[in-house]
Structure formats: structure tokens, C-alpha cells
Amino acid sequence: MIEPPRERARLRDRVLTTLTFVLLAGLAACSGGEPSSNDAAPSSSDTSKPPGDVESTGTGTPADTAALTGAELYDLHCARCHATDGSGKPEIALAIQPRSFKEGGFAWGDTREAIFRVISDGMPGSPFMVPFKHVMTEDQRWLVADHVRTLMPKREVVDEDDRILRVADDAAVVRGHLSPIVDGAPMRPRGMLVGLPGDASLEYRTDDVRLLGLRSGGFVDRSDWEGRGGSTLKPLGELAHVVASGDPGPAFLGGDGQPLRAALTTTHVDAGEAKITYRLEDASGATVAFVDEVLRTIETDASLAVLRRFEMRSANGDRTIRIALDPATPRDDFAHDEPIERQQGATIREDEGSATAIVYRSTHDIERVDGDGLVLRTALGEDPTYLLSVFVVADSWTPARLAAWKETLSI
Ligand code: HEC
């Protein structure tokens, strides 16, 4: 199965262009030299740097690599980013960290089928994890998928039922189809669940990164990962807080109030924390800011406390943006609780049987924008602006308790 050279050249052009933009260094890895659309020489070195021992296998077309084992194919095509041992410490410098297979970093599922799909089709939106179906035959992709599975940690059986994924000490991120979070809310074909230690999980849509809700207890039933028709994630936690009836508006707006799209770049797990990285794009598709959203739980006597830390940087000089921390109109029991200082504040929202306090603090002056729920306006520059926001779910709130939470948040 040899694909048309044109297609291959185009693939290479795309990869090289992206690498040129995003790689900090290590372009030497692209030993193929300058891309040229006439250069139809069959070669897979356009997407990989053959290590010395397999270089002698020649040009790397599927025919030439027919005798290679899964491990050798992995060394040829994957190791320069994911490392030979699967640790995700790349041989070349990448702007984002590839997955560590050793630590079980599989947001798209760790079954043979799920890994095969990622190898074949790449990860939508990732400039690095590109499709390999034009580079390897189907059989070869299965061999590589099997090899990747040998690099994974032996799965600890944390439940009688191995389909249930629990979060112990390390946060976990899984992506897939999400059913409506509450009746009447839309389906999320591109959804994401972030599980945090302490039995907290957060539900997001990822086509435009927006928090949909918080859950507590359990994490996810991934039984459907085996299926080929896309994966449905079944969150197991009880809903503790739903953002804007499950269908929140844009989380970020420009200074002019126009929505910005949060385009997901990558997710990363580091011990108990999960990090979601995205770009904010205006209506023309231009990037106006970069955001790292780091999530972790805080131990407390409240039933749930999840901290979101936004690290935001302007992409092109100073800018004002608005952040909708909870775009629903809050029933604000502390209506006069304007920021004590210009950099912190809080609001309360009552749900049935429980109340969520959203407490926030920023390194820069923030301003509450009236009318639209908890929307903050702040300025971004080239140095990061940090905004901490904690969702605390508790049975009841008193002004004293709220004040204590504000004290807790320090940057
Ligand atoms: C140019 C660097 C690069 C190469 C080459 C590469 N990957 Fe990746 N891969 C990445 C990055 C970066 C990610 C994470 C992408 C993201 O989060 O946007 C990733 C993600 C993945 C994932 C998804 C894990 C998950 O979250 O479920 C799998 C599986 C994977 N790679 C396997 C492979 C295999 C197998 C190969 C070789 C055929 C390969 N990769 C080649 C950089 C690379």
C-alpha cells in the first residue's frame, strides 16, 4: 500500500512547516533537508529520524521496513519524541511534552485499538502527533501499538472491575464523547474528563475549552474504549456543580466583549496536578493569548474544593481580556462583596442542598463586569498574569467562612 508521492510530500511539508514554527531547537532531526514539492523520493525520514541501527534499512518505505519488529518501528518513527523507553523525554526539543507511556499518560485510551487509532489518525489539533497511516502499513501500526503497550505500567487492579478508572495519587485526563451533563444540555462529541486526587473530577468540552461541571466520587467507566465507533466516557462522580446549566458561553472574551475561542493545544499530568494548555483566538483565527490552566484539589472540610490556576500571557503585546469563571447569573448572597482589594473577591451560588463559593485572586488588578455572572476583566502582557480561582462546594456558607477562604488563596 504505497500512497501517492504527492500526498507524502504534502504531509512532509506540513510536518516540516509546523516543526519549523514550533520547535525550539533540534531541527537537525529533520535530516531530510529542505522540503520540495517536486521531491517525490520515497522516504519516511521526512517524519522521523532513523536511528543509526536501522538507517541501513534504506529509505524507510513500508516495503523496506517489512521485516522490522514493533520495537524497531517504534525506534524508527516514535522514539525521537516519546523516547525509546516511552518516558516521553524527547531527544529533540519540543514546545510541549509528548506523552509518557511509562506513566500511563493516555488521554485517548490505552487499549490496543485506541492506540492504533492515535497512531493511524494522529491527534486532532496536535502539530506533533501527526497521522502515521501514510507512513506505515496497517500491520505495522498494530505492531507499534502492541509495542507501546509493553512500555505502559502494568495496570494496577484498583477495582474488581478493571474498566473502572480511579484516581489515586496522580491526576488523569481522558478524552472522548460525553453525554449531556444534565438533561437538556448538549452532547459533547469532543469532551474531556480530568480526574484529581481526592475524588474530584471536572468535565470540559474541548472544541472550545470550557468547564461544564464538577463531580465528586469515582472517576470514569471506560468500558466503551474498546469500541471502534468512538469512545463514550461515563463519568462516575456525583455532580457537585454545573456551570451555566451545562451549556456555558465562552469562557474568554476580548476587551471589547467579543468571544475568544480557547483552542486546545495539549494536556499534561504532573503528579496530583493536571494542566490544560490552550490558545485564545479571535474571530479571525489570530492567536491573542496563551493559557495554561492547572487543576488540583485542596484538602478541606468542605465537600469539594478544586483550584484552577490560570497562567495567561498575551501573544502580541498588552491586551485586556474577560474571563467568565462562572458565566451563570449567580444568586449572590454576598452581593456587596466587591473585591476587598483590586485583586481578589468571591461569590456564592446556591444549588439544591449545597452552595458553591467561587473565590478568586489575581496577580493583576481585576474588575468585575456586571450583568453576566462572574466575569472578570484583567490585563495581559508578555509576562504572565496569574489568576487563581477555587470552587468550594459546602453545605452552607457564612461570611466568616468565605473570608477564611480568601485568606487561603495566595499566589
Ligand atoms: C514529533 C514528535 C512525535 C512523534 C514523532 C510521535 N509522537 Fe506521539 N505524541 C507526541 C506528542 C507531543 C503527543 C501529545 C500530543 C498533545 O497532547 O497534543 C503525542 C501523543 C501520542 C499518543 C497519545 C497518548 C494519549 O494521550 O492517549 C500516542 C498513543 C502516541 N503519541 C504514540 C506515538 C507513536 C506510536 C508514535 C510513532 C509511530 C508517535 N507517537 C510519534 C509527539 C510525537
Ligand 1 atom showing the smallest separation from residue 19 Cα: 1
The best mutation among 99, 194, 270 to test binding of ligand 1, ranked by most ligand atoms within 8 Å of the C-beta, falls on 99
In the reported structure, the alpha carbon of residue 44 is separated from the centroid of ligand 1 by a whole-number distance in angstroms of 17
Among 139-143, 334-338, 403-407, top mean pLDDT goes to 139-143
- Cα distances from 185 to residues 188, 243, 272, in angstroms, run 9, 11, 30
Q: Which of 83, 117, 151 marks a domain boundary?
A: 151
Q: Which of 151, 167, 200 marks a domain boundary?
A: 151
pLDDT of the residue at 146:
92
119, 106 in Cβ contact below 8 A?
no
Cβ count near 195 (within 10 Å): 28
In the reported structure, the alpha carbon of residue 287 is separated from the centroid of ligand 1 by a whole-number distance in angstroms of 24
Question: Average of pLDDT values for 387-392?
Answer: 83
pLDDT category, 385, cuts 50, 70, 90?
Answer: confident
pLDDT of the residue at 351:
67
**Residue 295 within any structural domain of the chain:** yes
Question: Average of pLDDT values for 230-243?
Answer: 81
* CATH at residue 54: 1.10.760.10
Separation of alpha carbons 81 and 343, rounded Å: 41
Whole-model pTM: value is 0.58
229 and 299 inside one domain: yes
194 and 134 inside one domain: no
Range of the domain at 70: 5-151
In the reported structure, the alpha carbon of residue 318 is separated from the centroid of ligand 1 by a whole-number distance in angstroms of 34
pLDDT of the residue at 133:
92
196 and 109 inside one domain: no
End-to-end CA distance of the chain: 56
Stretch among 1-5, 255-259, 388-392 having the lowest mean pLDDT? 1-5
140 and 206 inside one domain: no
Cβ count near 254 (within 10 Å): 18
Question: Average of pLDDT values for 174-203?
Answer: 88
pLDDT of the residue at 339:
45
pLDDT of 3 > 70? The answer is no
Separation of alpha carbons 92 and 86, rounded Å: 14
pLDDT of the residue at 65:
74
Q: Which of 105, 136, 151 marks a domain boundary?
A: 151
Instruction: Kindly report, residue by residue over 14-42, the tens digit of the pLDDT.
Output: 433 333 333 323 323 333 333 333 333 33
pLDDT of the residue at 226:
47
Which residue, by CA, sits nearest to atom 11 of ligand 1?
A: 98
52 and 17 inside one domain: yes
Q: Is the CB of 172 under 6 A from ligand 1?
A: no
Please indicate whether residue 120 or residue 88 has the higher confidence score (pLDDT). 120
Q: Is the CB of 73 under 6 A from ligand 1?
A: no
Burial class (CB in 10 A: 0-12, 13-18, 19+), 130: middle
Q: Is the CB of 77 under 6 A from ligand 1?
A: yes
pLDDT of the residue at 37:
33
305 and 400 inside one domain: yes
Ligand 1 atom showing the smallest separation from residue 73 Cα: 38
pLDDT of the residue at 361:
79
Separation of alpha carbons 165 and 394, rounded Å: 26
Please indicate whether residue 230 or residue 264 has the higher confidence score (pLDDT). 264
pLDDT of 336 > 90? The answer is no
**Residue 38 within any structural domain of the chain:** yes
pLDDT category, 204, cuts 50, 70, 90?
Answer: very high
Grid cell locating 39: 521531491
In the reported structure, the alpha carbon of residue 224 is separated from the centroid of ligand 1 by a whole-number distance in angstroms of 22
Instruction: Kindly report, residue by residue over 348-373, the tens digit of the pLDDT.
Output: 777 666 777 777 777 777 776 665 56
**Residue 269 within any structural domain of the chain:** yes
241, 326 in Cβ contact below 8 A?
no
**Residue 170 within any structural domain of the chain:** no
* CATH at residue 401: 2.70.98
Q: How many residues does the chain have?
A: 411
Instruction: Kindly report, residue by residue over 58-79, the tens digit of the pLDDT.
Output: 344 555 777 889 999 999 999 9
Q: Is the CB of 78 under 6 A from ligand 1?
A: yes
For the chain, the average pLDDT equals: 73
pLDDT of the residue at 35:
33
Q: Is the CB of 76 under 6 A from ligand 1?
A: no
Ligand 1 atom showing the smallest separation from residue 144 Cα: 35
Domain count, the chain: 2
Burial class (CB in 10 A: 0-12, 13-18, 19+), 385: buried
Grid cell locating 209: 475549552
Ligand 1 atom showing the smallest separation from residue 136 Cα: 38
Instruction: Kindly report, residue by residue over 239-285, the tens digit of the pLDDT.
Output: 888 888 888 888 888 888 889 999 999 888 888 899 999 999 999 98
Question: Average of pLDDT values for 378-395?
Answer: 82
Place of cell 514550533: 22
In the reported structure, the alpha carbon of residue 125 is separated from the centroid of ligand 1 by a whole-number distance in angstroms of 12
- Cα distances from 408 to residues 109, 158, 337, 389, in angstroms, run 36, 33, 17, 11
pLDDT of 158 > 80? The answer is no
Q: Is the CB of 151 under 6 A from ligand 1?
A: no
Please indicate whether residue 17 or residue 230 has the higher confidence score (pLDDT). 230
Place of cell 506533533: 128
Question: Average of pLDDT values for 118-144?
Answer: 90
Please indicate whether residue 392 or residue 9 has the higher confidence score (pLDDT). 392
Closest CA to 30 of 38, 85, 21: 21
Q: Is the CB of 232 under 6 A from ligand 1?
A: no
In the beta sheet, which residues pair with residue 213? 203, 242
**Residue 292 within any structural domain of the chain:** yes
85 and 190 inside one domain: no
pLDDT of the residue at 275:
94
In the reported structure, the alpha carbon of residue 143 is separated from the centroid of ligand 1 by a whole-number distance in angstroms of 16
Sign (positive or negative) of CA dihedral 390, 396, 399, 400: negative
Q: Is the CB of 294 under 6 A from ligand 1?
A: no
> β-pairing, 210-216 with 238-242?
antiparallel
pLDDT of the residue at 245:
84
pLDDT of the residue at 373:
60
Separation of alpha carbons 96 and 87, rounded Å: 14
Q: Is the CB of 140 under 6 A from ligand 1?
A: no
**Residue 340 within any structural domain of the chain:** yes
